[in-house]
Amino acid sequence: MNKTPLFSLPCPSTSAVRDPCLLDEDRGLVLSVVCDDDGWARESEVLFLKPRAFRKREEVYCTAWHVQVAYDTVCEVVDSDWVAELRRDAVPEWRDRWVMRHFIIYIDSFGCLEVVAEAAELSERQRGKEHQ
């Protein structure tokens, strides 16, 4: 399975000032990372729209495949075995009802997050001085 890079986080995850946060909200599954950007807190959110499934691996369980290309970068897994498995396991009348794309991102000290969803998008904002 190949990965196609879609977008990267605007700052490296090695500059995170706190642990990344994963939230299941009404708007979708949200991965939030706050980084130090020259003394300013910069929050980046990856929003996975209409998530159907997700899984997370701690760093110790990640292989080179989970890290390559996906380090701080949301990628789409092409011809995903996982999407095929989910479709196969669904009841026939729901099998092809939704757009199901397999996304992957690896974040330093967090590990690998994989999400099957309709889409993924990035938003960011500066939150003010992190360090005085």
Residue 131 falls inside a structural domain: no
Dihedral angle sign, alpha carbons of residues 127, 105, 63, 4: negative
Cβ contact 22:103 at 8 Å: no
Dihedral angle sign, alpha carbons of residues 93, 94, 96, 98: positive
Percentage above 70 pLDDT, the chain: 95
Residue 45 falls inside a structural domain: yes
What pLDDT is recorded for position 131?
Answer: 46
Average pLDDT over residues 5-18: 93
Q: Cα(52)–Cα(86) distance, rounded to whole angstroms?
A: 9
Percentage above 90 pLDDT, the chain: 79
Q: Cα(7)–Cα(26) distance, rounded to whole angstroms?
A: 23
Cβ contact 50:28 at 8 Å: yes
Residue 17 falls inside a structural domain: yes
Question: Does the structure show a pLDDT above 50 at 23?
Answer: yes
pTM score: 0.91
Cβ contact 74:103 at 8 Å: yes
Question: Does the structure show a pLDDT above 50 at 107?
Answer: yes
Average pLDDT over residues 2-28: 94
Number of domains in the chain: 1
- For all residues of the chain together, what is the average pLDDT? 92
Going by pLDDT thresholds of 50, 70 and 90, the confidence category of residue 127 is low
Residue 33 falls inside a structural domain: yes
Residue 132 falls inside a structural domain: no
Going by pLDDT thresholds of 50, 70 and 90, the confidence category of residue 40 is confident
Residue 24 falls inside a structural domain: yes
Residue ranges making up the domain that contains 73? 3-126
Tokens 């990640």 correspond to what residue? 62
Q: How far apart are the first and last CA of the chain?
A: 46
pLDDT digits (tens, 9 = 90+) for 47-75: 999 999 999 999 999 999 999 999 999 99
